[in-house]
């Protein structure tokens, strides 16, 4: 895998786990999402990983909410729009497949079931396989979410079974530090990177909670890309809560610049990921 000169920064602004009542700065309305997306793009993000909330700020997979968000972000930003198919741990598998109906540029595809705190994040092979094939058919680029080393092996199984994803690239994201998944340590991340199948063309990483900064630093040093955002981390520094997702993007972009791998443009990210340009469709 060639070392990419720039850094693809993904912002994951909301997630499905935190309550708006506990974290009032969490962007949950469409207006807040658009404002967040535009300031994060300005700060250096080139992709957004989206979980959508309903009028009560609760996670939803309702098609009308998803379509409205995709349309608004496509009109008002040039970010690559990646919808979560992971949803919340309570979402049924069949509903998670319907996320593709909103015609995102990209979607997450988690490569295996994992313990998720006290819950279980379910991703049986049949579901992964159906999502893989449906994403190929609909020309949506999957980002393979790897929560554990076993997920790397399952990714290889998917590629062997179905060939390359739409666009011909294979981009993965290590989600480290989830209680029940791989730890958010440099050693665990580098073990995962060493196991990646040869078809993988780019990788990113995120660290949940306090593993955030060590994983950013490790990924930058090892040629990886970054995911940051309140979905994964709401503490900017000891005793300092995150008040806006753009703070995390800005710091990641500064570190990337210092490492001589500056934040890449949205056009460059589109090329790295092999996404279809739907902006003028
Ligand atoms: N909310 C987690 C249960 C994804 O977006 O695909 C799953 C998750 C992964 O966040
Ligand atoms: Zn997510």
CA of 116, closest atom in ligand 1: 3
Per-residue pLDDT of the chain (281 residues; tens, 9 = 90+): 766 789 999 999 999 999 999 999 999 999 999 999 999 999 999 999 999 999 999 999 999 999 999 999 999 999 999 999 999 999 999 999 999 999 999 999 999 999 999 999 999 999 999 999 999 999 999 999 999 999 999 999 999 999 999 999 999 999 999 999 999 999 999 999 999 999 999 999 999 999 999 999 999 999 999 999 999 999 999 999 999 999 999 999 999 999 999 999 999 999 999 999 998 76
Ligand nearest to the CA of 145: 1
**Looking at residue 229, what is its pLDDT?**
98
Q: What pLDDT was estimated at residue 281?
A: 63
Q: How far apart are CA 39 and CA 31, in angstroms?
A: 12
Please tell me the distance between residue 86's alpha carbon and the centre of ligand 1 in angstroms: 4
Q: What is the model's pLDDT at position 279? A: 84
Long-range contacts of 87-93 (CB under 8 A, 24+ apart): 87/16, 87/51, 87/59, 87/61, 88/16, 88/17, 88/51, 88/59, 89/16, 89/116, 89/119, 89/120, 89/121, 89/122, 91/59, 91/61, 93/122, 93/124, 93/127
Q: Does residue 247 line the site of ligand 1, with CB under 6 A?
A: no
What confidence score (pLDDT) does residue 38 get? Answer: 98
Cβ partners under 8 Å of residue 233, min gap 6 = 207, 208, 209, 212, 242, 248
Whose alpha carbon is nearest atom 8 of ligand 1? 86
Q: In the chain, what are the domain boundaries?
A: 9-273
CA 31, CA 247: separation in Å to the nearest integer?
19
- DSSP class of residue 91 equals S
CB 96 within 8 A of CB 86: yes
Q: Which of 13, 51, 131 to mutate to test the pocket of ligand 1 (most atoms within 8 A of CB)?
A: 51
Domain 9-273 fold is TIM Barrel (3.20.20)
Distance CA 249, CA 43 (A): 6
Q: Is 127 in the pocket of ligand 1 (CB under 6 A)?
A: no
Q: Give the number of whichever ligand sits closest to the CA of residue 13.
A: 2
Buried b / exposed e over 134-168, threshold 16 CB at 10 Å, is bbbeeebbbbbbbbbbbbbebbbebbeeeeebbbe
């Amino acid at each position: 895998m060639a070392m990419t000169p720039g850094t693809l920064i993904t912002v994951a602004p909301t997630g499905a786990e935190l309550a708006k009542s506990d974290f009032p700065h969490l962007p949950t309305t469409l207006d807040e999402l658009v404002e967040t997306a535009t300031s994060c793009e300005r700060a250096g993000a080139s992709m957004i990983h989206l979980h959508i909330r309903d009028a009560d700020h609760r996670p939803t997979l309702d098609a009308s909410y998803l379509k409205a968000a995709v349309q608004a972000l496509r009109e008002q930003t040039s970010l690559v729009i990646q919808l979560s198919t992971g949803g919340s741990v309570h979402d049924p598998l069949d509903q998670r497949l319907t996320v593709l109906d909103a015609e995102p540029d990209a979607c997450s595809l988690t490569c295996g079931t994992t313990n998720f705190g006290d819950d279980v994040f379910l991703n049986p092979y049949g579901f992964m396989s159906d999502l893989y094939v449906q994403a190929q058919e609909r020309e949506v680029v999957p980002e393979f979410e790897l929560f554990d080393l076993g997920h790397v092996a399952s990714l290889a199984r998917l590629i062997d079974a179905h060939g390359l994803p739409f666009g011909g690239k294979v981009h993965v994201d290590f989600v480290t530090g989830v209680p029940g998944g791989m730890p958010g340590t440099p050693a665990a991340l580098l073990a995962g990177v060493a196991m990646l199948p040869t078809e993988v063309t780019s990788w990113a990483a995120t660290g949940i909670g306090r593993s955030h900064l060590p994983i950013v630093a490790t990924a930058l040093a090892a040629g990886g890309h970054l995911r940051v955002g309140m979905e994964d981390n709401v503490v900017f520094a000891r005793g300092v809560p995150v008040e806006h997702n753009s703070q995390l993007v800005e710091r990641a972009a500064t570190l990337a610049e210092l490492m001589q791998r500056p934040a890449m443009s949205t056009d460059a990210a589109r090329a790295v990921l092999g996404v279809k340009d739907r902006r003028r469709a």
